[in-house]
Chains A and B, each alone.
Chain A
Amino acid sequence: AQKVTQAQTEISVVEKEDVTLDCVYETRDTTYYLFWYKQPPSGELVFLIRRNSFDEQNEISGRYSWNFQKSTSSFNFTITASQVVDSAVYFCALSETTDRGSTLGRLYFGRGTQLTVWP
């Protein structure tokens, strides 16, 4: 069964610090997708990144970077030089696939990490 674990419930940092949010997943699928979403207090889940299981290259987008390690089933998210606007709940999610390789649009979410960035 698919499972996503975000062990860090809350993280507090001071502006300009770097912070890493951890995500560990479990799946029996050989093809799967991993996502990160940001949820501000308004409630909307804002898409940040999608990564498929065959692409282990790390990715950088501005102050955001992601480290995907299949060997440890982890997909960690780092914010460099954090800002107050980064304060939100961050969710890691896993999507399953059918035996024909299509996702079902069903995401399995972790419990989220509340990040607070203080000025």
Chain B
Amino acid sequence: DAGVTQSPTHLIKTRGQHVTLRCSPISGHKSVSWYQQVLGQGPQFIFQYYEKEERGRGNFPDRFSARQFPNYSSELNVNALLLGDSALYLCASSYTTGSGNTIYFGEGSWLTVV
């Protein structure tokens, strides 16, 4: 079975531009979360979606938005990119939001803002 898949794997954007990152969860998983990992740090929670509804949001500006589609895939959008948005963006999926669910991560999208 396929794991969590993300695209693109690497991309370079210019300050002020917009970026869309995509994620397909493990088959059967209905919850998708997004994390940002800057170099030398642990991942930081951005969003969680379950059944197409936002269930949680981390401490990120409104330039960050996301959505989940009927097939449970998800997009993370970042507007007006800043140099500080350069990071590895990780998508995670779990079966539900219920207790004890293991959370699986994709390989991430490496975003460089120049």
Contact = CB atoms under 8 A, between A and B. Distances in A.
Interface of A: 4, 31, 33, 35, 37, 42-47, 50, 52, 91, 93, 95, 97, 101-112
Contacts of A44: 105-108
B3 to A, nearest CB: 8
B101 A106 contact: no
26 contacts: A31-B99, A42-B107, A43-B90, A43-B107, A43-B110, A46-B105, A47-B102, A52-B100, A91-B42, A95-B103, A102-B97, A102-B99, A103-B97, A103-B99, A104-B55, A104-B97, A105-B50, A105-B55, A105-B92, A105-B94, A105-B97, A106-B58, A107-B33, A107-B35, A107-B43, A111-B42
Interface of B: 31, 33, 35, 40-45, 48, 50, 55-56, 58, 88, 90, 92, 94, 97-108, 110
